[in-house]
Amino acid sequence: MYLSIPRRLVLLVLALLVAAAPQAASADEPAWKNLFDGQSLAGWKQRGGAAKYRVEDGAIVGQSVPNTSNSFLCTDRDYGDFILELEFKVDPTLNSGVQIRSECFDETRKVTHEGKEKVIPAGRVHGYQVEIDPSDRAWTAGIYDEGRRGWLNDLKDNEAARKAFKPGEWNHLKVECRGDSIKTWLNGVPAADLKDALTPQGFIALQVHGVGPRKEGLEVRWRNIRLQELAP
């Protein structure tokens, strides 16, 4: 038996099918790059203190050691404008962070900003740090200027971002750097929003904060570290 289907109905069905089909990624959209291969520390270099870094269960694990300064596992190249995404899980008593657009000089240098001079010692990692703060203060995803100016964008007035942190669990962090704009999100919640142009590019690093004489090895973990470079 032959059934005649109105042409208008056929076109409507085809249009709905096209709309529901997955859209291909734009050829102009920058590709995502994995900064961590899930198996080794290839592409990373340790600077600063003597904290221990290892790979375990598809994550980079940073472990504190007593009587050492802040430690940093740094990418072996610099990045300027980008979107960075990763997941982290941290011991409830360990401060940590993710450096972005950061530097480390082989010799002592002086940096001048807004008429103020700062001496940067040789070998001192410095630059923007996206905070990992499991304390009651809960400033995770705020922006601190490591080794230079201190807090640039804390979260004391952002209750939603402070409440977004999940103690003892994996948390998702997103960082977007475009020109002088640096923005962060914690588990999808907008956190820091900073305008600052002191350092337009630099390496990315995973920090294990110094713990003084404390002998217990405190750990922070990072995984699924990926980056999308953006045109300046």
The pTM of the full predicted model, rounded to 2 decimals, is 0.85
| Tokens 């410095």 sit on residue | 126
193-224, pLDDT tens digit by residue?
999 999 999 999 999 999 999 999 999 999 99
220 three-class SS:
strand
Q: Residue 158 — φ and ψ, nearest 5°?
A: -125, 80
Residue 89: Cβ within 10 Å count: 19
CB 194 within 8 A of CB 181: yes
Residue 1 confidence (pLDDT): 47
Rounded distance, CA 152 to CA 174, Å?
18
Candidate CATH numbers 1.25.40.10, 2.60.120.560, 2.40.50.180, 3.40.50.970; the one for domain 27-229? 2.60.120.560
What are the extents of the domains in the chain? 27-229
First to last CA, the chain: 64
- Tell me how far apart the alpha carbons of residues 182 and 175 are, in angstroms, rounded to a whole number: 7
Q: Please give the chain's pLDDT, 232 residues, in tens.
A: 444 556 665 555 455 554 554 444 455 678 999 999 999 999 999 999 999 999 999 999 999 999 999 999 999 999 999 999 999 999 999 999 999 999 999 999 988 888 888 899 999 999 999 999 999 999 999 999 999 999 999 999 999 999 999 999 999 999 999 999 999 999 999 999 999 999 999 999 999 999 999 999 999 999 999 999 999 8
Q: Concatenate the DSSP letters of all residues of 13-38 into one string.
A: HHHHHHHHSPPPPPTTSPPEEES--S
| Residues 36, 26: Cα–Cα separation, whole Å | 25
